[in-house]
Amino acid sequence: MEDYKLIDVAYGALLHDIGKFYQRTYEKSDLSKRELETTRYHKNGNYYSHLHSGYTSRFLNKYLEMNNEFEKLTSEHHHIDESEHFLNIIKKADQIASAIDRQDELKDNEAENKKGSFITARLYSVLSEVYFDKEKNDDSIFLLSTREQMNTPDANFVRKSLKESVDEYKILFGEFVDEIEKNIYLKKRVNFITYNYMYNLLNKYLVTVPASTYGGVKSAVSLFDHLKISSAIASCLYDKTCYDQEMFYMLEIDVSGIQSFIYQVVEGSGTKPGLSKALRGRSILVGLITNAISYAFLNEFGLTVSNILFNTGGGSMILLP
């Protein structure tokens, strides 16, 4: 892919694994010949792995109306092709974001997927690994839901059948694509406006979807978090020096004097009218100042919102090349 821009790389990385969400709405694989070409073929054994790549291709074609080189290379991020720099940026970002070479995804093949365990598995809370007693706590599981409907993890979760699990994914995925269908800015476009719309939708629908569950792997990382950090890393890798050295900068922003500024309004004796409003107003102002500083850095480097790793009142951290 020639003459691609940073936003192309960022958007490709943001969507490279969207097929994992789509794939789980099917009880068994039904990829077409063209879609199978985006997966990885193993001559030794004559089988295809990384089938979710085919569903990424289907998603980009069907819902975003993309049938071009961007769609092809984004879907083929598990291919081995040193000549395609765009593909290799996404591939490297995916591997760094996963911290491993994702060997579990080799089990994303038809033989393994017949078991359906990667569909029935759910996102588990990392706090399940924190315990002070002699016995380990039971795994706490997040049920599939949107961010607005998200509840505390369920410690008594019982896996449902394959069909029931697929039906749950179909409902959530259906709501997701309904919003896409209503947004003309998401069709056939790759720009910062499109990126922000899609980012917000992924943040809404993928926070309880596990990133990777092939081969019985327990995932405490949501698919949204994986796509977000992959996109942030890919944006940095667009810089040649960063790509070659795989070195990144973490910019930490800290607005000092927050407490004294916020609570200055309570100084003095007696009850003051409108005190709660004044406190909320000053707290909001601190957040707006932090946002303004963070987005100024994004604008300077041409990066996306994904590069803001966290942003709390008075502080944020940004990933830079």
Sequence ranges of the domains in the chain: 6-122+160-244, 248-320
pTM, two decimal places = 0.89
Higher pLDDT, 282 or 305: 305
| Highest mean pLDDT (candidates 83-87, 193-197, 209-213, 275-279) | 193-197
Distances (CA, A) of 246 to 208, 239, 320: 30, 10, 12
User: Any idea which residue has 């003095």 for tokens?
Assistant: 268
User: Any idea which residue has 């003051």 for tokens?
Assistant: 272
Q: Are 153 and 141 in contact (CB under 8 A)?
A: yes
Distances (CA, A) of 8 to 55, 66, 166, 179, 201: 20, 13, 32, 22, 18
Q: Helix, strand or coil for residue 259?
A: helix
- H/E stretch holding 49 reads strand 47-49
Mean pLDDT estimate for the chain: 88
The DSSP call for residue 152 is: -
Q: Are strands 315-320 and 249-254 parallel, antiparallel or unpaired?
A: antiparallel
Residues in Cβ contact with 211 at an 8 Å cutoff, skipping those fewer than 6 apart: 17, 20, 219, 221, 222, 223, 225, 226
Ranges 49-58, 153-162, 180-189, 243-252: which has the least confidence: 153-162
* Segment 231-241 mean pLDDT: 96
Query: In the chain, what percentage of residues exceed pLDDT 70?
Result: 88
